[in-house]
Amino acid sequence: MADVKKHDTPQCDELKNGPWPSFVDDIEQKGLSGQQACLDLLGQLELSYTHKETHWKHGGIVGVFGYGGGVIGRYSDAPEKFPAVAHFHTIRVNQPASKFYSSAFLRKLCDMWDHRGSGMTNFHGSTGDMVLLGTTTDQLEPVFYDLTHQMEVDLGGSGSNLRTPSCCVGKARCEWSCLDTQAICYDLTQTYQDELHRPAFPYKFKFKVSGCPNDCVAAIARSCCSIIGTWKDDIRIDQAAVKAYIGGELKPNAGAHSDRDWGAFDIQKEVIDLCPTQCMWMEGDELKIDNRECTRCMHCINVMPEALRPGTDTGATILVGAKAPILEGAQMSTLAIPFIRMEPPFDEFKEFVDKIWDWWMEEGKNRERFGELIQRQSLQEFIRRAELKPIPQMVKEPRSNPYVFWSEDEVEGGWKRDIKEFRARHAA
């Protein structure tokens, strides 16, 4: 065994049991092979299991020269007990779009990280980066040089930067994708390298790209600018496959319900009646869709993937302003642009981004997310600044209060009036 010190960790050790992959076992094995930081990490976690409180200190600003993000400082508050994790900084590395890798790339990353860090990672961070957990301040520049020179990969975003954009698997492996999600993700990441590395925003800003309304990267819940694929023409129907679903030759929902007997497939009950706009019906043994009434929820397509496919006149719906609750409460993205073509170099989309960033950088308060600015200054103000046309698709329903902020130029005759003329008509 290598010359390492293992701490007594009975509570952590309990988590070696059970079928789900044990992070404790993984970390301990790595530690015993000679990586003291892994054993100290478990030792400190054991202490947290005893105290039911974290033992990581608050912050500490570290980074690489010229960048204002990508590295997050982290220090143990028990360094005398766990010296190998006394400094345990995080490095975010920009993942390739939709997270396909070659083993050659990953092995080299591992070689680098074993040499310069703890050997611990998050594959991946919530935003999508490859996250390298645990190194010391003096290793930050060498890690950065290794990444850029020996791996040709850059850091991801953190702090009040553009965060690393991410996307779903898209057309690489999904028949529903209406967008070249990787191309969009790659191009936006390269276009906005300066914003990604050098903080200039009031707070973080996130782009996420999903190829269809199933939204596998949760763009609508967690990105300031959600790019979600959609289509304008008709759902493509293969009537023979529809018959095959009805006849039971094809499994509904691609076999997603295979371990329970839900009875024979009933197209009326399982598809037509669940359609949120009731825009489908059977005519004889043919499925009909009134596509003008369809809101592209994907349910029928999800249930009968062999029979139904999205149309071919494709683009993106752009929604803005999603965020988790801190601070003003959770927000979902709000519809901004119902349809926009998304082909390189994405000029029309980038013009939109420029306009909303101008507004946010002018008016946003410190640590105010883009969605909170819309809340504070109104959707109308967003529409004006983004130079969009107000359309009913932007709201669930019209307002129910009558408190309209008319501007003077919208009112005939303006607001300058003569009280004497008024009183000439009305005695006081």
Considering only residues 314 to 373 of the shown chain, the ones binding another protein according to CB under 8 A are 324-330, 332, 343-345, 366-367
Within 61-120, the residues that bind another protein by CB under 8 A are: 65-67, 74, 88, 90, 94-115, 119-120
CB 344 within 8 A of CB 243: no
- What pairing do the DSSP bridges indicate for beta strands 90-93 and 130-133? antiparallel
Using CA atoms, how far apart are residues 6 and 423, in angstroms rounded to an integer? 91
Q: 141-160 mask for another protein (x: CB under 8 A)?
A: xxx-xx-xxxxxxx------
Using CA atoms, how far apart are residues 402 and 146, in angstroms rounded to an integer? 61
Print the SS3 string covering 395-410: CCCCCCCCCCCCCHHH
Specify the residue, 141 or 358, whose C-beta has the smaller distance to another protein.
Answer: 141
Among 3, 260, 410, 416, binds another protein (CB under 8 A): 260
Regarding 270 and contact with another protein (CB under 8 A), the answer is yes
For residue 372, the minimal CB distance to another protein (Å) is 10
Q: Is 347 helix (H, G, I), strand (E, B) or coil?
A: helix
For residue 150, the minimal CB distance to another protein (Å) is 6
Locate 52 and state its tokens. 């039911």
CB 34 within 8 A of CB 1: no
Kindly state the helix (H) or strand (E) to which residue 223 belongs, with its residue range.
none
For residue 14, the minimal CB distance to another protein (Å) is 5
CB 371 within 8 A of CB 224: yes
Regarding 8 and contact with another protein (CB under 8 A), the answer is no
Specify the residue, 27 or 356, whose C-beta has the smaller distance to another protein.
Answer: 27
Regarding 136 and contact with another protein (CB under 8 A), the answer is no
Kindly state the helix (H) or strand (E) to which residue 166 belongs, with its residue range.
strand 166-167
For residue 304, the minimal CB distance to another protein (Å) is 10
**For residue 155, how far is the Cα from the chain centroid?**
18
Regarding 195 and contact with another protein (CB under 8 A), the answer is no
Specify the residue, 395 or 422, whose C-beta has the smaller distance to another protein.
Answer: 395
Q: 197-236 mask for another protein (x: CB under 8 A)?
A: x---------------xxxxxx-xxx--------------
DSSP 8-state code for residue 297:
-
| Total residues in contact with another protein, by rule CB under 8 A | 150
Among 200, 254, 391, 395, binds another protein (CB under 8 A): 254
CB 367 within 8 A of CB 202: yes
